[in-house]
Chain A
Amino acid sequence: MARSSFSVARLPGFATTAVLVFFALYLPIFTLVAYSFNASQSVAVWGGFSLEWYAKAWDNQQVKDATLRSLIIAVSAALIATTVATMAALGTTRRREFKGQGFIYVMINQPLMVPEIVTAVALLILFGILKTNAAEIGGPIGYFVDTVMNKGLGFIILAHSAFCIPFAYLPIRARLEGMDLSLETAAADLYATPWQTFRRITLPLMAPGIVAGAMLAFVISLDDVVITEFVKGAGQDTLPTYMLGQLRRQLTPEINAISTMLLAVTVVLLTAFFLLTRKKD
């Protein structure tokens, strides 16, 4: 390297600051996890070690239904969002700038910029109009909106897919930017059709980015509370909205137990995401 590089890591006091910051950020979470093993009913006073709250959470039918619903929504939303994001990434990278590209980029990333509560209320109003008019429209469309979208999880999955797209888009785009076109050009030279090129060259190379995007979309969808709280229909509590509903009443360590399990899933997935997107130079 020609110039000596400046690295923040070599500033004095960096290690100490880093440790303190991590401590401040994660101490509340460690406390949460620790108290999930609390034997007494309290969330703040330690009464001994016990796994009863995990057992209670396992037995709680509402929690089980909410978790299952959360998983179904997260998987569906991740699949849809990743598919759309892949197409978007392929269309907006490694090509000449076209008119309106900046606008498209803003549209894709719009959920990241608009406050979540604004999106939530907008969707609430839109879906409310659709739901009330479904009966009047009648016929197959009315039936579809009422059964699949409203009573099924359609509306929630639609909302989640929409705001998970940017989270899936960014890693895929990053991966694509790092790939050059020469491999695909070589394939074309060897008489491969565009579809064959895509299926056998581009897609396998993009795979780590796509998987990373899918996992990120899954986690974001799993954790979402504001949008789901407003878009959910009758009997459609997801795990985060269930926990939000418990806040106004007496909190027991059962909440801690559920949170710890949710945290564990998130950590595992994010670790996998990190490992997959590491550049193996």
Chain B
Amino acid sequence: MKRLLTATAFLMGTTGIAAAKGDLQLYNWGNYTSPELLEKFKAETGITVTVTDYDSNDTALAKVEAGGSGFDLVVPSANFVQIWVEKGLIDTLDLAKIPNHGNIAPEWKDVVWDMGRTHTVPWQWGTTGIAVNTAVYKGDVNTSAVFLDVPEELKGKINVVPEMNDVLSLALWYVGGEPCTEDTEMLKKARDALIAAKPDWISMDYGVTEKMSNNDWAASVNWNGSTMRVRLANPDVVYGYPKEGYPVWMDSVAVLKDAPNKDNAYAFLNFILVPENAAMISAFARYANGVAGSDAFMPEDMKTAPEVVVPEEFKAAGKFLPTCSPKAQEYYTAIWTELQK
């Protein structure tokens, strides 16, 4: 009996202080939340934010779906937002509680996966394109032909990141199709283009920042933030926006339906829509944010970076990736498996 009591006492000692009034549980990607932002939020509102990390959309969805997770806010990727809504896991936003909702930049207000931003608020967004070392290749970098019809100078020196959705979408746009299509003709064309180009690739691997910084690779399909880091280490590198079509991704914040601290959650959403605070997130995560007026507060090297600020002529070619139907997903997986052989 005594031992049971001591055991219970020991276990109770491990409990954190039960959720105080000023508490907020943010469920976010790892290493994606600026500690300075959270300190500033605490100074302004007295609310302590605790961040829990996840490494994939699927893990986050599974954990919240199981119930009783205790999180208030979650940050899903664009192509998952509709899944969260359909499963009834996130709230429709009470816009009366978010006076700064109008700060969302016009181009990010009516996105296909959340029209009018009734469920989510932008966190960070980026693009996938092609990073090229112009000392090696001086031709046009703004086309998917760089990795699908590899020019002489880059044969055997170009890498492709093994991200199925990004790579297949780029290939489908290149051959004139659309991502998540179930049109077998288009899928065959995309597959043939990829398989034909593969012998000219040096690898299908991550680690682009490292390998292009020390010139192991001369080019790679890559994300814009990583390419900016490469360019800061190696000024010859240029980020190409494929004119046939390139993927845009965005992570946005949503309030969970069973959130224990809803008012604090809304206070946080309102807080990150202030231009200076959005710029703080960008300074940490090194990607662009979706808040109008934040340009003035962005760090110097990001204000004019062509990777972060999409040049006018390429804006139209950037599109969000849809969520594929199970059949389209099957085709994707089949092509990807064949490509990886």
Give chain A's interface residues, CB within 8 Å of chain B: 42-45, 62, 72, 76, 121, 124-125, 127-132, 134, 147-148, 150-154, 157, 229-230, 232-237, 241-242, 244-250
Contacts and interface: CB of A to CB of B under 8 A. Distances in A.
B158 to A, nearest CB: 19
A125 B54 CA distance: 18
Chain A at the B interface: mostly helix, strand, loop or mixed?
A: helix
Nearest to A80: B7
A245 B50 contact: no
B236 interface: no
A230 B12 CA distance: 22
B53 A230 contact: no
For the complex of A and B, 4 pairs with smallest distance between CB atoms: A131-B68, A245-B53, A245-B30, A128-B66
B54 to A, nearest CB: 6
30 contacts: A45-B214, A76-B14, A121-B62, A124-B62, A124-B66, A132-B67, A148-B15, A151-B18, A152-B12, A153-B11, A153-B15, A154-B14, A230-B59, A233-B68, A234-B25, A234-B70, A235-B50, A235-B51, A237-B52, A242-B30, A244-B55, A245-B29, A245-B30, A246-B30, A247-B30, A247-B55, A249-B30, A249-B31, A249-B285, A250-B209
Interface of B: 8, 10-12, 14-16, 18-19, 25, 27, 29-32, 50-56, 59, 62-63, 66-71, 207, 209-211, 213-214, 226, 229, 285
A136 B262 CA distance: 20
A148 B12 contact: yes
A230 B62 contact: yes
A112 to B, nearest CB: 24
Given A42-B213, A125-B66, A234 B52 contact: yes
Contacts of B18: 147, 151
Contacts of B16: 151-152, 235
B12 A151 contact: no
A147 B27 CA distance: 20
A128 to B, nearest CB: 3
Nearest to B8: A148
A248 B62 contact: no
A232 B52 contact: yes
Contacts of A147: 12, 15, 18
B213 A234 contact: no
B30 A152 contact: no
